[in-house]
Structures are given as C-alpha cells and as structure tokens.
Amino acid sequence: MAAIVTPISQNWHWKQRDASVASVLDEVNSSWSPATSFPSEVHVELLKAGRIPDPFIGFNEHDVQWIGDSEWLYLTKFGLPGQDRSFKFAELLFEGLDTLCDVYLNGKKILYADNMFRTWKVALSGEDLRDADNVLFLHFQSAKKLAKELEKQFGRVRAGSTNLGDPSRVYVRKAQYGWRWDWGPELMTCGPYRAISLITYNAHIESANTRAHVSAAPALSRSLKVDLSVAGEASAAKGAKVVLKQLDGTAVREEKVQQVGKEIVNWDLEGKVDLWWPVGYGSQTLYNVEISLLGEGDVVLDTVAKRIGFRTVELIQEPLEEADRYGTGTTFLFEVNGVRMFMGGSNWIPAHNFLTQLTVDNYRAWLTLLRDGNQNMVRLWGGGVYEPDVFYDICDELGVLVWQDFQFACGVYPAHEEFVQNVKQEAIDNVKRLRHHPSIALFCGNNEDYQMVLQWGGIAELPARVLYEDVFPSVVAELCDPPIPYHRGSPYGGKGWDTADPTIGDVHQWDIWGGKEWPWQEYPFHGGRFVSEFGIPAFPDVKTVDYWLDGNVKDRWAQSKSMAQHDRAGAHERRFAIVMNENFRLTSELETHIYNTQIMQSEAVSLAYRAWRREWRGKGKQFNAGVLVWQLNDCWPVVSWAIADFFLRAKPVYYTIARELKPISVGAFRTVTQNRENDRPKQFYEFGAFRSVSANIDVWGQNSALEPRKVRLELSFVDLYSDWTESKTLDATLLPNQSTELVSMRVPGPQKPQDQNAVDSSHSVVVGARLVAADSGEVLARYADWPQPFRLVDFPDPKLDVKVEGEKVTVAVERPAKGLFFTVDEEGEGVLGKPEEVRWSDNAIDVFPGDPQVLEVRGLAGKRAKLRVAYMGSEHGSVVHQQ
C-alpha cells in the first residue's frame, strides 16, 4: 500500500481540567466545548467563546493570568482512512504541542511532550488503533508550575530583568516571549498549536535531504545530491525516482534508481539550473525536487517534494587591511555566490502572542513589507519560535536572507543531561526542517546570553556553553551539506566572551536609548563590524492606541495608566523623557506627542543606517557589513521599537530606513566647531546654544550595484529665516558595492563671518542633497540635513501644495518642510485597529522648494477617505484632501 497521511484536524473539543476529578481520563465523558479552529490555543478558544476579555485591550492582560496556572484538555475522535488495515506500520506526528502535554490514545498514554519546539513522532501498533472512533486525548499542564518546580530543584538563576519574565522560564522549552518581555504581555498559552497527522504505511520516506551544491566562485558550478532514508519495511522499497522541475512543472532532469540511502543521485547540473540570489542581486530562481519511493513493479509507496535553490553562502571573518576609528580587527560579512553584500534588515519577533492566529497572508504581508523597504535580511530572534515552513518559503520567494537564532534569550540556561538531550533533539528537528531553504544564511546559538553574564557580573560560569559551543555547531556541521555558517551567540566576538568589541563579531548597540543613555546623535561613533540589534522606540499609529484604549477617554494622554500598560520598555518613562526633552518641545497633546516620538525614532534609526552603511567602504575596508534594527514587528498593540505596529501600520522610520537602503543613496553629516576649547566636547549640529564658529558638511553616496554609476550631486542650501539660498553641483562616479566620499565643505550661510571667531550663521541653514543620474537626469536619491535639536528650530510654514490624482500624491512647497507624514482615514473603517489597505511608495519625507515629490499610494483610488499630513511645525496634522 502507499503511505497515507491523514490530518487529524476535525471535531476537536476542549475544556478546563476539573481538579475535583481524580483521574484525568475520567473527564473524557464530561462536558466539552467545540474548538472553533484547529490548530488551537486555549486563549483563542476562551476569547471566541466569550469567556475572557480581549487581553490586548486595556488592562485585560491581568484578568487572564489564571489561564496559565490552569490545566487544559483537548479531545477528538478519528478513524482509519477508509477503515483500511492493509498497512503494517503507523505513527502519529505532532508538529507542535505547547508545551507540557500527556498524550493518550484510546486511554493509553503514548507520549509526554515537554518541548514546544520539537516534532514528536509516536510509533503505533495495529492493536493501538481502531477502525473508527479512536480517541485522541491531550492533557496540557502548567508550564509556569513546572518552571518553578525545576527552579527549586536546580536553583534560581539570572534571566533578564523584571520585564523579561520570571527567571524560571529558562528551565522550560517554551517560547520565552510568552512569559513577558519588554515589548510584550505575559500570556502563557497552551494547546496543539501546529498540525497533528496519522501516517499509515508499509514503507515510508522518513527523511529526504536535498543537497543543492554550488562550487566556489568564480566557477559556481551547480550539482544536486539526494539522500533518502526509509522507515518501515525496508525490503519493500525497491528504489526511487527523483525529478527536478522548474516551478512551472518543466522537468530539468529525472532518474530512476535501484537503491535508497545516501546519495541516491549525484547530478551535474551545469548549464541546466540558474542561481538563487538575494533580493537586489538577481532572480530568486527556485526548483521543485519530487522524490517517489518505489516498490515492486514501480508501485509508488510514498512521495516527498521539496523546493530548493542553488546558492553558496559564507560568513567571512578575515583581517581588515586598514583601521577605522576602532582599530583593525576582522570583517563580519556575508558572501553569497561569491558576492560580498551589505546586509540591511530587521529583527523579527513572533507577530502574535497567539500563533494560531497568523495566516499565510499575514506572513506574506510582513515579509513583503520588509522586502519592499529595501531590506535583504531578517533575524529570527532567540526568544520566539522557529517559525512554520511557510515563513521560510516566503523568504525564499522574496530573496530575504534569514539569520536564525536557536531559541535561547537573555538568561543563564541549564545544562543538566536531560535538558541538553532534549535541546539537542530540538536542534536536529529544526535544522533538518530548515536546511534546504536557500534563504537560510546563518544559525546562531543564542540571543545575548554571553552578554548578560558579562553585564551582570558575579556569574562564574554559563552552563549552556555546552550547547552554544558544542551541541549546536556539531548538529549544524553534521546535518548541513552544503554548509551553513554558525555563530555561537549574538552578540559575540573578541576575547573572553567580549560581546562589545566593535572590531570583531557582531554587536548590539543599546548604549543609546538604554544602557548609558547616550543621545541618538552618537550612533555614527558607536558601531561595529555588524550591528545585529539597536533601536529607538516610538508610539504606534493613534488608531492603534485608540484600539487598546477601547473608548477610555480619560486615559487618552501620553503618561496615563493605559499607556504604561502598553509600554513595557525598562525605565521607559525616564528614557523617553531624556531623549524627547533633548530634541523636541514638550507637549501634552497626544497626537503631537505620538508624532514627535515617531520622528525621534525615524531620525535616530535612519542616522544609524546611514552612518554605518557609509563604513562599507570596499575590499579591505568593509568596516561595517550589516545593520539589523530592533525590531520589525509587534506581537500585540504596544509602544515599542517596531518599525511597523501590530496592525501592520508602518511608522515613519520604515520609510526612512527604506531610503537609506536603496541601491543608491546619499548621506550627509554636519560637524559643528566648538565655540571655545573648553566647551562641551563633540557638539552635534548647534546642540546646546545654536552658536558656533563654523560647521562642516560631509556628503557621500552609496552604490550596492556591482558596476560604477555616474551621477551628479546637487547641493541646496536654504536659510530657514530669510530668503537666502545657495547651490552647488558636481559630477561624480559612485564606486561599485561600496560608499564613495563626494564632498567635504563648510556649510555656507546668509552672513559672511569677518573673522574666525565670529558667530557662524549656518545654524539656520538646511542642506539638501540629491543624486541625479548623469545620463537620464532621474533623481536617484535625496537627503536633507537639518539643524538640531529640533526644539530650537522655528520651522517655517512650508505653504504645502498637495495634489491627488488617482493613486498619485504630488507634494510641493515654497519653504523647506521636515518630516511630512501622510495617513489615510477611511470612511466606515469599521473595527478599530483595522489595518489600512493603502500602501505608500514613500512617506515621512523632507521636501525642498523647486523639488516636488510624487508618492504612489496603492489602494487609494476610489476610496472615500481623508488624507492627513503632519510635519514639523504642524505635528498634530490636518486634512489636506478628502474624497
């Protein structure tokens, strides 16, 4: 018989465990509630049944904590497919049980699952199964309770601060963010959160490893090897058929072989298949490998299909030829198909506290947003989950490289034998599942575990080093052919576990906003070879705020209890106050405050991308090879570091990052000369008194293409307080795959200083830079450098002229405008928090006189909507068009 996979997805029921019933099995015949969907989580079922309030609204999170302290049951009945008993083997496959679960089949306990991240297989005998009405019964216990019991047994350890969950979380293999994080609620879920299947067979493909090889550059020769392991009656398997197909179904090559095992095919595919490239460097060409297990007379016993791509990926850590401000050290860069690429991207957290609520469309929308923002890498952070297959499938399609953390974050994890063996199998399950994806660029041992030990001090040992330095690298090396790079932790580098050495490995830059609470203007001077985390938080869209307020008008102000409930960042009150007071005028008006926090985030993060990408200076001088912002997304409606909020509403920072990561970008940096030698060191712009001897502007261009580009640099100098303007133009060539310094000059102003000690008038001058294609005149990139801090700038009325034609918005000004951020209020928008269907090609723009900008707004045409815009000087915003 052919193997049959039967999803067990129908007729599920659930209930809370009744502690008064002695045996859990005695509850089978009690009262149950039907599950609304499957896979399932108990919070979702309770919410849909109207038995709990929405934990994402108001203070409701606190009213549902009892759920995590309780035990929960799930039950269904299933029959054999067609009541056919011709099979010799059977197994139940559990793709994800969250987290502690006793599994019973027809009253017999067949599994104890204690790891949310593992795939569990249970072999069954014919006696275990009935033709019909097999009772599958799941008993979920409290992960919180077990964690505290294990903590008593093995000892209390450090694991983050109070806003990173109870430290006992380290003992249980459950998604760490669910215990509470500094951007997420404490919602201890449980349930069968991924698929369950019955597999019946005589012989069955246990695993198929498709090894898509590409030789080193410049040859880049392609080949395919396939390994096939069989479960069940091995003698029934007489061979296999392997077919490589294009996605349209056209066969590239096929072969029928007489054996199973290692390397059943080894095909030279030179000239027959194309390479897979990350976005921006070529096409994302994918192929299907279809494998059929053959029995006597070529009867098909089982089939497996995998989608693959042909590429090489290497993590290059080699000595630099020159020194930067930090010294020499080594690179930390990714090379794909022989091409060294600057990585610009985001960190990813789970996009919902209830994972079953995420659809394929949700994943595609998030990852498309990232890709459309000119990002080419996503880092899956170590406190979430290994995402489902569809996540990586979409990354393959979009050309987004994946940095995959193993699921350890911010703690001193244990290393007793049972724990290590459990985690080793977790690693094996997930590496096997993910290794064929061409998007997988790196496996990383943990998030900030080394850093935390150094930060806290007084901790002599990190027991889980055996995982990060032995188990994980061994699993990755053994299972990944072609090889996939491994990095033992993020951040990691330097001597003695040093996680802050900017000359080696990767760094997390949290001394700005957190840590030392430096001003954001310090970003250019505190980078590293690869910045894999950094960020500044901001409020989400006001409609998202109104969602969690749910009509609570008395709390509709920035420092209210409701706002604090939805802002989990450590010391956020003080940290927000410092950076906001330094840079913006105080306000008690909510919409203005929201806008100011968003501009703060936008200005700070885009400065970091701009300055650090500048350090991608060419071979031997690749001082910074990647910048990944914390974070792309949210798991609930919240004030956070996310660049788009829970409802997929992009904040201004999303658009400014996108401009910094365009294939061609332009950057500028103003350095102000101190008034006197004993003034505060390193002033930024006119910081403090708006009086300086002089200011210098450095301008550079960035070109990620592999060919040089001839451009014209156009500089505009506009005084905010007079009619004075000046311009400068020069021709230049942007070197390939690196930054190019274009000009360094004194910032001119309306008044000409008579001597070197006179006060300079550049404090009120905005500098606009455009890169224009030398051949076509097309505007390739823009950037505007404004005096700072913004609280001391008297922003002029720009005399906005906004024209809307279909799905195009044209913006012109008479005076410079800073931070124009457009939003659309749809008439009859319905549910509060419903994400807009409109998508902007660009937003959060600075506009100069004589340089109108055209924005494309997909989905705007035909809508009954109001177009609003806010900008510096008019932060609350106003309606500029209604249709």
Q: What residues contact residue 359 under an 8 Å CB cut-off, 6+ apart?
A: none
Q: What residues contact residue 623 under an 8 Å CB cut-off, 6+ apart?
A: 320, 324, 326, 527, 529, 615, 616, 617
Q: What residues contact residue 433 under an 8 Å CB cut-off, 6+ apart?
A: 119, 386, 389
Closest residue by Cα to residue 750 from 724, 785, 727: 724
Closest residue by Cα to residue 626 from 509, 743, 762, 800: 509
Cβ atoms of 462 and 453 within 8 Å: the answer is yes
Is the bond into 491 cis (omega within 30 degrees of 0)? Answer: yes
- Residue 871 carries which side chain, given as an amino acid letter? Y
- Residue 376 carries which side chain, given as an amino acid letter? N
3-class SS at 166? Answer: coil
List strand residue ranges (DSSP E) for 222-367, in order: 222-232, 239-246, 251-257, 261-268, 287-294, 300-308, 313-316, 333-336, 339-341, 343-348
Rounded CA-CA distance 379/375 in Å is 11
- Tokens standing for residue 626: 């990647």
Cβ atoms of 729 and 714 within 8 Å: the answer is yes
- Residue 695 carries which side chain, given as an amino acid letter? A
Closest residue by Cα to residue 66 from 38, 48, 46, 50: 46
Cβ atoms of 353 and 636 within 8 Å: the answer is yes
Catalytic residue flag (residue 814): no
DSSP label of 316: E
Is the bond into 482 cis (omega within 30 degrees of 0)? Answer: yes
Lateral strand order in the sheet of 817-826:
845-847, 817-826, 865-871, 874-882
- Number of residues written out for the chain: 883
* Cβ count near 699 (within 10 Å): 23
For 50, 57, 204, 449, 636, the CA distances from 185, given in Å and listed in that order, are 20, 11, 43, 22, 8
Q: Of 45, 448, 603, 836, which one is the catalytic site residue?
A: 448
Active site residues: 448
